[in-house]
Structure 1
Amino acid sequence: MEETGLSEPEIAFINNHRHENAGQLILKANQFKGLDIKKLAAQILSRQKAAKKLPGWYANEKLIFPPALSVEQCSSEATARYKASLVSGETLADITGGMGVDCFYMSRKFGRVHYFEMQEAVAATAGHNFKQLGAENITVHNADSLAKLQADQPAVDWIYADPARRNEQREKVVLLSDCTPDIVSNQRLLFEYAPNILLKTSPLLDIDLASRELENLKEVYVIGYEQECKELLFVLDRDQEHSRFTIKVRILDDQGVALKSLDFDRETERDAAVTYSEPLHYLYEPHAAVLKAGAFKTVCERYALNKLAVNSQLYTSEILVGDFPGRSFKITAVCKPDIREISKHIGGNKANLTIRNFPATTEDLRKKWKLKEGGEYYLFATTLSDNSRVVIVTTKAAI
């Protein structure tokens, strides 16, 4: 497997042009003699995509980046750091390779790591990057991981997999069994080599459907970062005997530390008590990860909140709850969905707008109400438990 790297002139070019438009650089390629501008423009574009997502990697000028799409699809440093906090031991096998962001951060928790990647160029790039990052304990295998495991029959503490979520026609898939490699069909094989499996999937995957496909499921982590649900993590334990698994919502900061947490299971959610009320003094909007996890009733009971309506997924209270896993607002008014009424409370035509269980889109209402985005006010167009439609005018709560 041939190693790759950047020459000093190439590194200098990337540094000098790192904020420029990659397409424009290609058009001016004849101005830069002796350099492969298409290659370097691709590196610049990928680095631009990685600047916020992978700041540590972006800062290392000697690293080679894959195509921009791969950077968009890879884990962020924050989520990779969190995954590393879930695993530890003597040996890890990363059976799906790729860019290697997760593998690198998890390697800090193990004595030895085996990275498997079938594409030679991808494996060579990862190997180069691991060395530049000082991860000397990672062995790169340009091989089919499942075949290699069967041939070598190693004993490892953890297997990590992030299956490709596109089929042979490059179309996105959402069923776990349609991903590559097929973890569902190979669970028992993988358990022959490791007692623990950490499986990363798209946040689009149906948690309950996946739980029926997977054996020995212990925990499902629903990872939130900034305002999005970023990924699902399934922890499989060979010694897990019962089918009841815990769902763990984790909302992370930039360092991968959980700022907010919520643990529950499907039985807890089913039996949770729910009360409904009109909007009170404070309004709560759950983080996207909480909504993905399906903790709709648990939130009411856990944080002593009232729900506005069965399907609205907005909550309210008289007293401010400081550790709510989402955004908290102070209610200043409850109006009819009429811009003349709303304007009285926002003092103009500028506000942030959210739709929850309301028969219109955000774009439709902005156009209809001639409402600009931004400002200190946050409007929630929603339906209450008596089926009345309202707009709740709020400002961010001081926590």
Structure 2
Amino acid sequence: MSIDKMETDEPGFSRDEISFIQTHQYENAGQLMLKAGQFKGLDLKKLAAQIVSRQKAVKKLPEWYSNEKLVFPPALSVEQCSSEATARYKAKLISGGKLVDITGGMGVDSFYLSKSFEKVDYFEQQEVVAETARYNFEQLGVSNIEVHAEDSLNALKNGRITCDWIYADPARRDVNRQKVVKLADCAPDIPSKLDTLFNCAPNILLKTSPLLDIALACSELQCVKDVYTIGYEQECKELLFVLARDFKGDYKINARILDQDGSVRQSLDFDLETERNAAVSYSDPLAYLYEPHPAILKAGAFKTLCEKYGVNKLAANSQLYTSAHLVENFPGRSMKVVAICKPDMREIAQHIGGDKANLTVRNFPAKTDELRKKWKLREGGDFYLFATTLADQSKTVIVTIRAFN
């Protein structure tokens, strides 16, 4: 049974409701709904929705998850909101006297940004969402966030608000819940509202989907000072654009790979000219193989990696790198090469000792699922296979193990 809506007249839960959520927090919400008759006096639909949302938040928002009094929005909203790690990083990136969050939503970013600002104005058009955020901020002990249940752009147009920073996280799905990747297709349409925003603040921090084309977005926005590609765990989670009202130069690109507390584990900064002019060399696989983190790949630091870390590319479009000696601080996965094989399972099996291995496909004329089916390869184990194309256009499979335990 699908649980995708939360209906409640007022934020907050009774002690019995909190106890129910805590008792059943690891259970299947659909199965709980089938047992609704056993729980008289409780709104099982509301509580089951909370359980689903909390299950989505357990790793993404551990601080919020640990607070039993907080009210969570529908699970889709939890999936789309910032993670605690990325929100904490944003709070380290900018600071000042006053910030206006024009797309408040669940309020995760407002909450963490409030730690770096004297005052935060949170705007959200949906009154129920805004009131829930107000309630949650109170439970979290925040006193410097003012909640406004109204259209932020109307408030800014009226000229009654000025601030140091504006934060925006435009909605990235259309009415049919399809993903959109152009800024003009998001709500609000930030490029068309820049005059209004810059009349109220000299600086804007814009969060977008990692699917967005960075160069296209920067041409739409102009006055972009910095672009951040934010990596957490094994994904590029979001893009951040720092806009400055009076900035006229070229933007820098900053890749950041975060730990759970929002601290930076690895970073790489460059600009487009540096990338264009970076020296790049090619070679067949050597003793070690490197796969850049998705946040590094999204940043487009393909040639810069060679120059900064002293590695070679396997091919122009493969985005895999190699070296004779281990580069310990490479921003991504570091692997030790065991063998270089033809794309033939009989040869591969001689090196992995069976039919089980992890598989990555890069610049290779087949998809991962197709190769697994063709080779009857089970997933998992200690070996990592990279199916790719070398500089001479030959197809190969590189058998590796992790360079670090």
Q: Judge same fold: TM > 0.5, yes or no.
A: yes
Give deviations 1:145-196, integer Å, cap 9, x for gaps. Answer: 0111222432211100000112344432211012111110111211111111
Question: In 1, Cα distance between the equivalents of 2:363 and 2:351?
Answer: 22
Match of 1:396 in 2: 402
Q: Is the 8 A contact 1:284 1:314 kept in 2?
A: yes
Give deviations 1:226-284, integer Å, cap 9, x for gaps. Answer: 11110000000112122x10000001111111111011111111111111111111100
Which residue of 264, 270, 289 corresponds with 1:258? 264
Give deviations 1:318-350, integer Å, cap 9, x for gaps. Answer: 111111111001111111111111111111111
Aligned-partner SS, 1:130: helix
Match of 2:19 in 1: 12
Alignment pair present for 1:377 and 2:383? yes
Which residue of 160, 165, 169 corresponds with 1:158? 165
Alignment pair present for 1:210 and 2:255? no
Alignment pair present for 1:289 and 2:306? no
Task: Give 1:374's aligned amino acid.
Answer: G
Percent sequence identity over aligned pairs: 68
Distance 1:398 1:16, change over 3 A: closer
Q: Is the 8 A contact 1:90 1:111 kept in 2?
A: yes
Which residue of 334, 356, 360 corresponds with 2:362? 356
Q: Which moved more, 1:248-257 or 1:170-179?
A: 170-179
Aligned-partner SS, 2:228: strand
Q: Structure 1 residue runs of 4+, over 4 Å off?
A: none
Aligned-partner SS, 2:282: coil
TM-score by length of 2: 0.96
Q: Is the 8 A contact 1:3 1:128 kept in 2?
A: no
Match of 2:129 in 1: 122
Unaligned runs of 5+ in 1: none
Alignment pair present for 1:238 and 2:229? no
The CA deviation at 1:88 is: 0.6
Question: In 1, Cα distance between the equivalents of 2:39 and 2:296?
Answer: 51
The CA deviation at 1:3 is: 5.3
Match of 1:69 in 2: 76
Q: Is the 8 A contact 2:361 2:388 kept in 1?
A: yes
Question: In 1, Cα distance between the equivalents of 2:358 and 2:153?
Answer: 50
TM-score by length of 1: 0.98
Question: In 1, Cα distance between the equivalents of 2:178 and 2:357?
Answer: 38
Alignment pair present for 1:102 and 2:105? no
Distance 1:49 1:307, change over 3 A: same
Task: Give the number of equivalent residue pairs.
Answer: 397
The CA deviation at 1:129 is: 0.4
The CA deviation at 1:398 is: 2.7
Match of 1:220 in 2: 227
Match of 2:255 in 1: 249
Alignment pair present for 1:193 and 2:200? yes
Match of 2:317 in 1: 311
Q: Is the 8 A contact 2:156 2:196 kept in 1?
A: no
Task: Give 2:380's aligned amino acid.
Answer: G
Give deviations 1:18-65, integer Å, cap 9, x for gaps. Answer: 111111111111111111110000001100111111111111000000
Give deviations 1:278-328, integer Å, cap 9, x for gaps. Answer: 111110001111111111111111111111011111000011111111100
Match of 2:340 in 1: 334
Question: In 2, Cα distance between the equivalents of 1:139 and 1:246?
Answer: 33
Match of 1:182 in 2: 189
Q: Is the 8 A contact 2:155 2:161 kept in 1?
A: no
Q: Which moved more, 1:60-69 or 1:314-323?
A: 314-323
Question: In 2, Cα distance between the equivalents of 1:392 and 1:318?
Answer: 15
Q: Which moved more, 1:92-101 or 1:334-343?
A: 334-343
Alignment pair present for 1:37 and 2:44? yes
Question: In 1, Cα distance between the equivalents of 2:35 and 2:382?
Answer: 44
Give deviations 1:74-105, integer Å, cap 9, x for gaps. Answer: 11100110111111111110000100001100
Task: Give 1:48's aligned amino acid.
Answer: Q
Question: In 2, Cα distance between the equivalents of 1:173 and 1:377?
Answer: 37
Give deviations 1:338-373, integer Å, cap 9, x for gaps. Answer: 111111111111111111111111111111111111
Match of 2:6 in 1: none
Q: Is the 8 A contact 2:159 2:200 kept in 1?
A: no
